Structure 1
Amino acid sequence: MASNQRIAEFSRYCASKDILARKFQTYMPVRWNSTYLMLKSALPFAELITSFYNVNTANDTRREKLPDGDWYVATVFVEFLKVFYDVTVELSGVYYPTYPLAILKLYDMADVLRQYSENVMVASAVVAMQKKFEKYWGKIPLLYALGIIVDPRFRFNGLEVFSKELGECLGLSETDVAEHLRTLKTQMFEIFSIYENRYSHGTAEPVPPQQQSQQQSKLMKIFFSKATTSCASGSGSSSQSQSQRQHVELNRYLSTEYSIVESDDFTTNDLLKWWRGKRNNFPILSRLACDVLAIPVSTVSSEQVFSTAGRILEERRCSLAPDTVEALTCLKNWENATFRQQHQPDTKELMDNFSNMIIEESSGSNQPTS
């Protein structure tokens, strides 16, 4: 329905059915999320679109009628893409800690890939995605691991459970997962040693709270269901090296149980508040935790990655030197930071437009409907 003629035909058809004519966004290659949002917006009007298409192609022998099965395929794709859309949006946040969410979201993606690998409609694409996913995320990055460790609900026990569940989703061997966990634990103590040497006589500075809403993920539920068995040992492994036994503050944190509500009410923002309240108990570890929580998983929002040009560049600036473009990008980001608008992608506006767009009549414009 991209041409004016087709839009007019659709408008007349809707009028004959006493339905308010709506516009539907076409696929836009420059938007990372357009396929998901386009299909999601069209599904509620599947019957209307099918009827219009079949009526207008009834006399065209070159075109077949639109079968209901095509809408089932669209539904499957929407359900499949929704996980990646939600993960991308949540991990692109800049006003709340995102590293504690990284492994949880990795599991969500790995789990949906495993589920859909047996779906004949998407299996060929999903298998290729699984191989690429395992290549990048077969080994959990250290900062992702630290994001879980500094969460007092999980600590190293949570990292163990999450790593095993993620490894199972990706088909990794238990030996490889266990070996990587040992590496992560060693690196964790090495980083703490650096902080211990640097800040043994200092105090942590406060971090201002932000706003964020977070639902309890599937992986979190798995962890809490195993808490009585998997986390009963405190820090996980009873065998520690001599250097690990020396870090009293870190070992005390890893071996202490904390009474924190295991619900959707506890968000990553609450971690900042929790660590601020523990600065006297863990002066060095609280500084490390706040440094980890301050690092974003993604340095720029998802929408900015794919569509920066319209915000920074235009025809008059298309010949600027790379250094100038970099400077303009930084200035724009600083300006947005002043007004706390660094993470306001066009996604919400695009979704609102999808749900509110109607075809204007020649006599005037109709008001958007929900």
Structure 2
Amino acid sequence: MHQRCGCHIINLFVKSAFDVLKPYLDDFRSAISFLNSSNQRIAAYKSFCIAMSVRPRKFGLDMDVRWNSTYLMLKHLIPYKSTFDVFIQTHYPQKEEGALLTNDHWYVGEKILEFLERFYDSTVVTSGIYYPTSPLMLHHILSMLTHLNEYEHDNLLGPAVAPMKEKFQKYWGEIPLLCCFAFILDPRAKLRGFNNVLFLLSKLNCKNYSDYLTTVRAGLFDLFKKYDDKFGGTELSSYLDSDTVQKFDDDFDILDWWLDRKITYPVLSILAKDILSVPISTVSSESAFSLVSRVIEERRRRLAPSMVEMLSLVKDWEEADARTQHTAKNKATLEAFEDMFLDGDQI
């Protein structure tokens, strides 16, 4: 069962919007570059923030290859709108066409930030490590498609949504079977919940999923039969016909639920464990082998492959023990934007 990385797909269709969005942000980039290019200017801005009783900070520029950096740039800049805007207007050389940043710029920036937030949040959730992510993907597919439809006819963002929906339909027009099976094996959803999601999706993208429901159901029973032949047992129908679990808080642990019912569903619990333990994103596995921010000293630049492998594994084990694996992939990007406060004597 081939499964594409969910976060990679989100990245593909969000980046397709940036040909439209990028020009709206050029003046913000110019303003940030102007501030960051001079220590005297940064010191003056710091003094201005202190005078305005605002905690001073610098601002990071986004990177073309990472759309999430654009989201983070706006996320940290917009709360400083009042101080940043006044400072730039009083220090930036006057342009013939008027001020560098206007109210229209801030309106557009706030709107783009609000638009990107849904996709950023979905990426963070579906790249999680310490909980099953495969049953969550269908929720986020529905949420993101709803979000795209809400902005489809927006005067500003409508042109950006069109290429995003095209990419969305290319990769998620037909939902991956793994996501479907994992969703159904969530005892709070089962087939009834899956049917409801397909109904909502059909309204959003005008597609008939009735045949797909039959395909998914048949595929799940076929998969269970393979487990049945190997382990013995006939409990899938019993599980699907029983009532759904009415517990929707964040404390609900699907894997614990199946573990507690391994006597009731001896074979199905094995199938559920195998399906639910598959990460919907490759971010977690990629981070295990990411040596980002690690500095190899001059005398260690010829490490043997076995030594590099050992260092990678030890790094992952240590992060697993400290439960910090989930921060490994984007730690450098986050720190580039978040750790920029000008406290004390920092400039």
TM-score range, shorter chain: 0.7 to 0.9
Alignment counterpart, residue 281 of structure 2, candidates 298, 309, 319? 298
CA shift in 2, pair 1:103/1:320, >3 Å: farther
Partner of 1:138: 173
SS across alignment from 2:212: helix
CA shift in 2, pair 1:184/1:30, >3 Å: same
Report the AA paired with residue 180 of structure 1: Y
Describe the superposition over 1:119-176 as per-residue Cα deviations: whole angstroms up to 9, x where unpaired: 121211211010101100011111101111111221111111112212332x2422xx
Does 1:159 pair with 2:194? yes
Alignment counterpart, residue 236 of structure 2, candidates 246, 250, 255? 250
CA shift in 2, pair 1:328/1:178, >3 Å: farther
Does 1:116 pair with 2:151? yes
1:268-307 equivalent positions in 2, closer than 5 A = 269=253, 271-301=254-284, 304=287
Q: In structure 1, how many angstroms separate the alpha carbons of the residues matched to 2:241 and 2:193?
A: 13
Tell me if the contact between 1:116 and 1:123 (Cα under 8 Å) persists in the aligned partners: yes
Describe the superposition over 1:286-324 as per-residue Cα deviations: whole angstroms up to 9, x where unpaired: 11111111111113239949x935256758578889998
Describe the superposition over 1:241-290 as per-residue Cα deviations: whole angstroms up to 9, x where unpaired: xxxxxxx41111111114x33432553x2x22221222121111111111
Tell me if the contact between 1:195 and 1:288 (Cα under 8 Å) persists in the aligned partners: yes
CA shift in 2, pair 1:321/1:2, >3 Å: farther
Alignment counterpart, residue 82 of structure 1, candidates 117, 122, 142? 117
Structure 1 length normalisation: TM-score? Answer: 0.73
Measured after TM superposition, the shift of residue 198 of structure 1 is: 0.7
Partner of 1:221: none
Report the AA paired with residue 341 of structure 2: I
Alignment counterpart, residue 261 of structure 1, candidates 246, 258, 273? 246
CA shift in 2, pair 1:192/1:309, >3 Å: same
Tell me if the contact between 1:142 and 1:184 (Cα under 8 Å) persists in the aligned partners: yes
Report the AA paired with residue 85 of structure 1: Y
Does 1:196 pair with 2:228? yes
Tell me if the contact between 2:148 and 2:165 (Cα under 8 Å) persists in the aligned partners: yes
Alignment counterpart, residue 106 of structure 1, candidates 104, 121, 141? 141
CA shift in 2, pair 1:95/1:15, >3 Å: closer
CA shift in 2, pair 1:68/1:196, >3 Å: same
Q: Matched residues, percent identical?
A: 36
Report the AA paired with residue 181 of structure 1: L
Q: In structure 2, how many angstroms separate the alpha carbons of the residues matched to 1:273 and 1:18?
A: 49
Bigger proportion of residues as helix: 2
Partner of 2:207: 173
1:1-370 equivalent positions in 2, closer than 5 A = 1-3=35-37, 4-14=39-49, 17=52, 19-29=54-64, 31-57=66-92, 59-61=94-96, 64-169=99-204, 171-174=205-208, 177-200=209-232, 248-258=234-244, 260-265=245-250, 267=252, 269=253, 271-301=254-284, 304=287, 308-311=290-293, 314=296, 329-330=312-313, 332-345=315-328, 354=337, 357-359=340-342, 364-365=345-346
CA shift in 2, pair 1:20/1:278, >3 Å: closer
Kindly report the root-mean-square deviation, in angstroms, between the aligned alpha carbons of the 2 structures: 3.2
Tell me if the contact between 1:303 and 1:345 (Cα under 8 Å) persists in the aligned partners: no
Q: In structure 2, how many angstroms separate the alpha carbons of the residues matched to 1:135 and 1:322?
A: 39
Tell me if the contact between 2:287 and 2:329 (Cα under 8 Å) persists in the aligned partners: no
Q: In structure 2, how many angstroms separate the alpha carbons of the residues matched to 1:2 and 1:327?
A: 40
Tell me if the contact between 1:93 and 1:301 (Cα under 8 Å) persists in the aligned partners: yes
Measured after TM superposition, the shift of residue 28 of structure 1 is: 3.4
Q: In structure 1, how many angstroms separate the alpha carbons of the residues matched to 2:107 and 2:286?
A: 28
Measured after TM superposition, the shift of residue 344 of structure 1 is: 2.3
Report the AA paired with residue 199 of structure 1: F
Which structure has more relative contact order (CA 8 Å, sep 6+)? It is 2
Q: In structure 1, how many angstroms separate the alpha carbons of the residues matched to 2:159 and 2:312?
A: 39
Structure 2 length normalisation: TM-score? Answer: 0.77
Tell me if the contact between 2:129 and 2:325 (Cα under 8 Å) persists in the aligned partners: yes
Measured after TM superposition, the shift of residue 97 of structure 1 is: 0.9
Tell me if the contact between 2:235 and 2:265 (Cα under 8 Å) persists in the aligned partners: yes
Report the AA paired with residue 333 of structure 1: D
